[in-house]
């Protein structure tokens, strides 16, 4: 086993990530990150009243202490850990957050909460926050592309395990750590990366990403004070690759940032599992052609065994989800709901009881695995509908979701307005937040003001 003195930091994966962590951020990457931040805030606002969000708020308020940090529940005064717990849960609770399909990873619920907490502690500007989230999200995508899907196949929660490594990069950049301390921070968080896919009927996916963000905050702060971390938490003898995957090295680290992969992060159209995004699109197209009562059989083709496990198995749980959260992963129930209602939106999940029309069609819905050439870069689906009169039609969706490119800004803003409308917030809040995120002289504190008042916020960063 190599000792610390024998390891050349420049040859380690952590060293490559540390170099990238302090590199300049292009205007395009900055703009993508700003739009992703807007998306995350809107999702978090819509999730304020969910049971898991209320539980996280109560837990953080009661037991995680007071501090300088704001949270997307509209309260300022949390500890960094408490704010991260709340913000991660809020962003992930509706399963409406971003997805990098190739790496099967969400970046919103780990990178953004860690960056927000550190920004509050340092009194950072919004541009600094946005740059940090851009770099963190890119690290998440790079790691996700290299090993994310293999992690998930082994039963690990990719967004948590790799998300902590991405979040610590964002936190370290905001703390302005030097290269050596960034390597230490990556080493510290790399040894505690956790989160399995054993979520069943629980909220543990939200817990996993919150713990990842908290670990990143702790590791970055510890490293800033000189606490040493291992140099090879990913590729070392007992590092992530060996313990979680029985694997060797990653691809050439020179590919990090060349090109930036985060440009391909996609925005969800529906508040449910990413494997169901294309399924819902097929369902709504079918609903415009068939009345649910006229349908004899529905067969949906998914791109992998993992997709089946996520949304179609076990069958009884997918037909009759026990709560709103689990309905977001219930393929049979959601297809039936979409065919009956002709629409899927956040209110679709408010009531998950089985009514007559739903019960009537559930047993005629089947899922199966099929090969799709575009998977895993995209997550497509195909649906064949057979009517009682023998009519048969096939609906296909290629899984190409909207990205966060500036050309799609109007779609992100529309989603934001719909999210705050769902929770009953004043639509003027949307315009204030749009304005704050555009201001080059805004401090992060202005974001909390915009979330809590109809008075135009002060934008200047305090000296």
pLDDT in tens, the chain (463 residues): 444 444 455 579 999 999 999 999 999 999 999 999 999 999 999 999 999 999 999 999 999 999 999 999 989 999 999 999 999 999 999 999 999 999 999 999 999 999 999 999 999 999 999 999 999 999 999 999 988 788 988 899 999 999 999 999 999 999 999 999 999 999 999 999 889 988 877 899 999 999 999 999 999 999 999 999 999 999 999 999 999 998 766 767 788 999 999 999 999 999 999 999 999 999 999 999 999 999 999 999 999 999 999 999 999 999 999 999 999 999 999 999 999 999 999 999 999 989 899 999 999 999 999 999 999 889 999 999 999 999 999 999 999 889 999 999 999 999 999 999 999 998 889 999 999 999 999 999 999 999 985 443 333 444 3
Domain boundary among 264, 290, 306: 264
Domain assignment present for residue 204? The answer is yes
At 322, list the tokens. Answer: 């026990």
Do 260 and 168 reside in the same domain of the chain?
yes
Domain assignment present for residue 417? The answer is no
Do 136 and 234 reside in the same domain of the chain?
yes
Please tell me the total count of domains within the chain.
Answer: 2
The residue segments making up the domain with residue 373 are: 274-397
Name the H helices within 144-276: 149-153, 158-174, 179-190, 204-224, 240
User: Residue 401 in 3-state DSSP?
Assistant: coil
Do 209 and 300 reside in the same domain of the chain?
no
Do 28 and 162 reside in the same domain of the chain?
yes
Whether 399 contacts 274, CB under 8 Å: no
pTM exceeds cut of 0.75: yes
What is the CA 70 to chain-centroid distance, rounded? 20
Do 217 and 344 reside in the same domain of the chain?
no
CATH number at residue 343: 3.30.1330.120
Domain assignment present for residue 393? The answer is yes
Q: What is the DSSP string of 54-112?
A: HHHHHHHHHHS-EEEEE-TTS-EEE-HHHHHHHHHHHHHTTS-S-BBGGGTB--HHHHH
Do 204 and 316 reside in the same domain of the chain?
no
């Amino acid at each position: 086993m190599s000792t610390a003195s024998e390891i050349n930091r420049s040859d380690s994966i952590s060293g490559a990530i540390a170099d990238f962590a302090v590199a300049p951020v292009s205007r395009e990457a900055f703009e993508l990150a700003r739009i992703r931040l807007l998306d995350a805030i809107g999702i978090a606002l819509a999730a304020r009243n969910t049971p898991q969000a209320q539980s996280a708020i109560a837990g953080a308020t009661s037991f995680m202490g007071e501090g300088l940090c704001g949270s997307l529940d509209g309260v300022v005064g949390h500890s960094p850990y408490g704010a991260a717990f709340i913000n991660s849960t809020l962003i992930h609770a509706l399963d409406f957050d971003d997805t990098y399909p190739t790496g099967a990873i969400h970046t919103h619920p780990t990178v953004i909460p860690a960056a927000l907490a550190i920004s509050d502690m340092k009194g950072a500007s919004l541009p600094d926050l946005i740059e940090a989230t851009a770099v963190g999200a890119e690290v998440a995508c790079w790691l996700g592309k290299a090993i994310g899907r293999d992690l998930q196949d082994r039963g690990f929660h990719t967004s948590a395990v790799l998300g902590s490594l991405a979040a610590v990069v964002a936190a370290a950049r905001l703390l302005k750590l030097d290269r050596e301390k960034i390597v230490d921070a990556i080493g510290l968080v790399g040894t505690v990366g956790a989160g399995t896919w054993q979520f069943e009927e629980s909220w543990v996916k939200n817990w996993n990403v919150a713990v990842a963000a908290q670990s990143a905050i702790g590791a970055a702060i510890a490293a800033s004070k000189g606490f040493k971390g291992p140099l090879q938490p990913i590729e070392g003898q007992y590092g992530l690759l060996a313990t979680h995957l029985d694997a060797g090295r990653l691809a050439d680290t020179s590919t990090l940032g060349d090109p930036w992969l985060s440009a391909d992060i996609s925005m969800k159209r529906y508040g449910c599992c990413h494997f169901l995004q294309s399924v819902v699109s097929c369902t709504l197209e079918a609903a415009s052609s068939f009345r649910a009562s006229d349908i004899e059989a529905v067969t949906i083709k998914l791109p992998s065994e993992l997709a089946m496990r996520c949304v179609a198995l076990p069958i009884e749980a997918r037909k009759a989800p026990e709560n709103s959260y689990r309905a977001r992963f219930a393929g049979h129930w959601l297809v039936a709901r979409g065919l009956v209602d002709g629409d899927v939106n956040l209110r679709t999940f408010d009531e998950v009881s089985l009514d007559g029309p739903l019960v009537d069609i559930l047993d005629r819905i089947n899922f199966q695995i099929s090969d799709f050439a575009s998977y895993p870069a995209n997550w497509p689906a195909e649906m064949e509908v057979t009517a009682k009169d023998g009519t048969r039609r096939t609906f296909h969706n290629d899984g190409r979701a909207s990205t966060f490119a500036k050309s799609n800004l109007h779609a992100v803003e529309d989603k934001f307005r719909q999210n705050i409308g769902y929770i009953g917030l004043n639509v003027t809040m949307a315009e204030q937040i749009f304005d704050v995120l555009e201001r080059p002289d805004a401090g992060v504190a202005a974001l909390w003001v915009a979330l809590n008042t109809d008075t135009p916020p002060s934008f200047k960063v305090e000296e």
